[in-house]
Structures are given as structure tokens and as C-alpha cells.
Amino acid sequence: MGNICRSPTAEGIFRHRLQRAGLAERVQVDSAGTGDWHVGKAPDARALWAAAGRGYDLASLRARQVVAEDFSRFDLILAMDHDNLYHLDRLFPGEDKAGVDLFLRRYALDVEEVPDPYYGGEAGFERVLDLLEQGCDALLADVERRL
């Protein structure tokens, strides 16, 4: 929703995966929220800490809100949960939604949504990392097939 927990964590993980694969210069990655509450702010301190514990640096990322141009700028827009998917449709009713989907529905095996860890504890952020790492591995494999 606010682009300070799940989405920037996914962005950081995927950027790391692309760098390791030598594809960082060929693939454009960004994250955005459907809400504007945290625009310009760094990721949540707990997300920064949890990601750093696994070798991901999110410190340079800043929250932004999704804009209409994102629908033409990116091949995929991957939402973290059904609520964000709903808000994308509601906020941008005229935009082509062909590349819009739930991240884990498209790129993971056993769950559709990335749970929001904002109101929980450390374990919630670790669970988010587990899910996003799995999803990012599958996304990278998909990108490698397409390039």
C-alpha cells in the first residue's frame, strides 16, 4: 500500500538477483505503492534490518506512488495482495492491465499473497523475505527465458 515494506523488499531482492545474473543493465525494476502516505520515505526500519540480514541493501530506495505511465513503462506490474490489485484497477480504470497480476500467484507455488508485515513482528518480515526470495527466483527464470 505505502511502498515501505513488501514492494521495496521485492525490488531489492530482484535487483540483487539481476546483478548476480549479469542482467542489471538490461532489466528495469522499480516499486511503487497504491497509497501516498509514505512518498519520499525510506523503507520501514524493520524491512531494512531484515533485508540486510540476508545481504540485500534497501537503503537507497524511496517510496513512490504508482502513476498511469507505469502501465506503459513496465511489462509487468506485480501486486503484493488482492487489496493492492483492487486499488490498481480502481485508481487506473482505463489503463491496460494485461501485465498486472499478483506477484506470488504468477511466480510462486503455494500462496497468492505476500502478507503485510507492518503491524507484526520480526517473524513477519522474515516470512515476507522467504516468499519474496522464492518469487524473485521464479521471476528471474522467467526474465532469462524472455531475453
Convert the pLDDT of each residue in 51-69 to its tens digit.
999 999 999 999 999 999 9
* Separation of alpha carbons 49 and 103, rounded Å: 23
* Domain range list for the chain: 6-146
Which CATH superfamily does the domain covering 6-146 fall into? Response regulator (3.40.50.2300)
Convert the pLDDT of each residue in 12-46 to its tens digit.
999 999 999 999 999 999 999 999 999 999 999 99
The predicted structure's pLDDT at residue 110:
86
Active site residues: 6, 116
pTM: 0.97
**Would the pLDDT of 109 be above 80?**
no
